[in-house]
Amino acid sequence: MRTLVPFGNSMKHIDLFTPIELIGTDRGREIDFHGRTPAVDEVWELLDLVPDPEIPVVSVVDLGIVRDVRHAPEQQPEWQVDITPTYSGCPATDFIASEIERALQRAGIAAKIKTVLAPAWSSTWISAKGRKAMLDSNIVPPVHDLNSLTCPHCGSGDVHMKNQFGSTACKALYTCHACAEPFDYFKTI
């Protein structure tokens, strides 16, 4: 799916989402809670199988989008999942909420997905596992000092930003002068 989103003073087409069926949400695993009430930890485990639509190698849990999972048997629906968009106006937020809802439904859980805007998401919320998964896919995870940015292909520090926006708005496109390979950098927020 391609969509038009604002970038600075202009508009740009970006490839937004890959349908979850094509990514393979469950990554080879099936979790089914039908007929029983799972522990909160098990629901976190299930959510850790839901890929972020923009960076499918990282789950919505590892990216820090899922903030809280609560079970309140006296309420309907019994489960509530709080999510925070990675940056304000991220066009994927509604999509992520519905994918989380669908993943839970498939496992037999009805949940309310609530968007929580404060405190705002920060790239420091990305887990160590998430950072490693990015790097394994040649996406450089957020760094504090851009001068320390190195090429994920060859390790050279001789890298330069080619475009402020990479394949999605949260990434910048870099190129390496040592090996000539391009790569995405997930911007620090």
Using CB under 5 A as the criterion, which residues of the chain lie in contact with Zn ion when the complex forms? 151, 153-154, 156, 176, 178-179
Phi, psi of 98 (to 5 degrees): -70, -30
Q: Which is nearer to Zn ion, 111 or 176 (CB)?
A: 176
Q: Which is nearer to Zn ion, 91 or 152 (CB)?
A: 152
Q: Which is nearer to Zn ion, 4 or 154 (CB)?
A: 154
State in angstroms the smallest separation of the CB of 72 from Zn ion.
Answer: 51
State in angstroms the smallest separation of the CB of 185 from Zn ion.
Answer: 13
Distances from the Cα of 8 to the Cαs of 60, 72, 99, 186, in angstroms?
A: 27, 43, 29, 18
Q: How far apart are CA 16 and CA 144, in angstroms?
A: 27
- Matching residue, tokens 């950072």: 131
Q: Which is nearer to Zn ion, 72 or 154 (CB)?
A: 154
**Helix, strand, or coil (residue 89):** coil
Q: How far apart are CA 113 and CA 83, in angstroms?
A: 7
State in angstroms the smallest separation of the CB of 129 from Zn ion.
Answer: 24
CB atoms within 10 A of CB 37: 13
- Kindly state the DSSP code that residue 76 receives in the 8-state scheme: S
State in angstroms the smallest separation of the CB of 36 from Zn ion.
Answer: 50
Q: Which is nearer to Zn ion, 135 or 179 (CB)?
A: 179
